[in-house]
Amino acid sequence: MAATDPFALFDAWLQEARGSEVNDPEAMALATAAADGRSSVRAVLLKGHGPQGFVFYTNCGSRKAQEIAANPNVALLFHWKSLRRQVRIEGVAHEVDPSEADAYFATRSRESQIGAWASDQSRPLPDRALFEARYEESKRKFEGMAVPRPPYWSGYRVVPERIEFWSDRPHRLHERRLFTLTGNGWIEGLLYP
């Protein structure tokens, strides 16, 4: 089967999802695995995408970042319930260039920037009051100035090796289009539902 550009197809599907999903059409499940093989999944937000990969941002001390450091093979899942579609992506995660992380961090709301300084993401929190106090302390620290990106906060680009587009069909006769990256580019095939 002749390959369609999977990134153009993703763009079209995401655009449709932006018109039909009530909340967060950019939400994607990110699955990681630690060096011992123990897996974990959570929702993150897509903040950039294209032929180079799919980008999200986080605290580099978070569980997800630590697992990526131990095992960069990850999977993403977009589920657009309103469209009855899914996109599954498997690939390797790489930290983005610091200038790219700086540029994205500058677009976040000031409150989100300050929150990045106040949070020890994924670590135990004795009580909510401590986090709120750290937030207020960071707010005072950066009063009257631009909030710089914390050195422990960055982004990751998932460079895809497999992209599957799943469409609901009546009687569970779904359509599954699989794009696989080869040395000669993307090849497309179908999977049984």
Q: Which residue has the tokens 């655009």?
A: 15
Residue 28 contacts residue 56 (beta carbons within 8 Å): yes
CA distance 136 to 118: 8
Active site residue 172: yes
Q: For 5, phi and psi rounded to 5 degrees?
A: -70, 115
3-state secondary structure of 88: strand
What does the pLDDT look like over 92-122, one tens digit per residue? 999 999 999 999 999 999 999 999 999 998 8
> In sequence order, what are the residues at sequence separation of 6 or more whose Cβ sits closer than 8 angstroms to the Cβ of residue 126?
none
Residue 178 contacts residue 188 (beta carbons within 8 Å): yes
Q: What is the pLDDT of residue 4?
A: 79
Q: What is the pLDDT of residue 112?
A: 97
pLDDT at 187 over 90: yes
Q: What's the mean pLDDT in 118-137? A: 93
Share of the chain above pLDDT 70, in %: 98
Q: What is the pLDDT of residue 89?
A: 98
CATH superfamily of 6-100+152-191: Electron Transport, Fmn-binding Protein; Chain A (2.30.110.10)
Q: What is the pLDDT of residue 2?
A: 47
> In sequence order, what are the residues at sequence separation of 6 or more whose Cβ sits closer than 8 angstroms to the Cβ of residue 99?
none
Q: In 3D, which of 121, 155, 44, 179 has the Cα closest to residue 190?
A: 179
Residue 86 contacts residue 169 (beta carbons within 8 Å): no
Domain boundaries, the chain: 6-100+152-191
Angle between helices 128-141 and 110-118 (to 10 degrees): 120
Residue 147 contacts residue 109 (beta carbons within 8 Å): no
Share of the chain above pLDDT 90, in %: 94
Regarding predicted confidence, which is higher, 156 or 35?
156
pLDDT at 64 over 80: yes
Among 123, 172, 176, 177, which one carries the catalytic annotation?
172
Q: What's the mean pLDDT in 136-146? A: 97
pLDDT at 3 over 90: no
Residue 100 contacts residue 153 (beta carbons within 8 Å): no
Instruction: Output DSSP code: residue 82.
Output: T
Q: What's the mean pLDDT in 23-39? A: 95
Strand partners, 160: 91
Q: Which of the four pLDDT bands, split at 50, 70 and 90, describes residue 24?
A: very high
pLDDT at 71 over 70: yes
Q: For 154, phi and psi rounded to 5 degrees?
A: -155, -170
What's the mean pLDDT when you consider all of the chain? 95
Q: Is 161 exposed, middle or buried (0-12, 13-18, 19+ CB in 10 A)?
A: middle
CA distance 95 to 93: 7
pTM of this prediction?
0.94
What does the pLDDT look like over 6-17, one tens digit per residue? 999 999 999 999
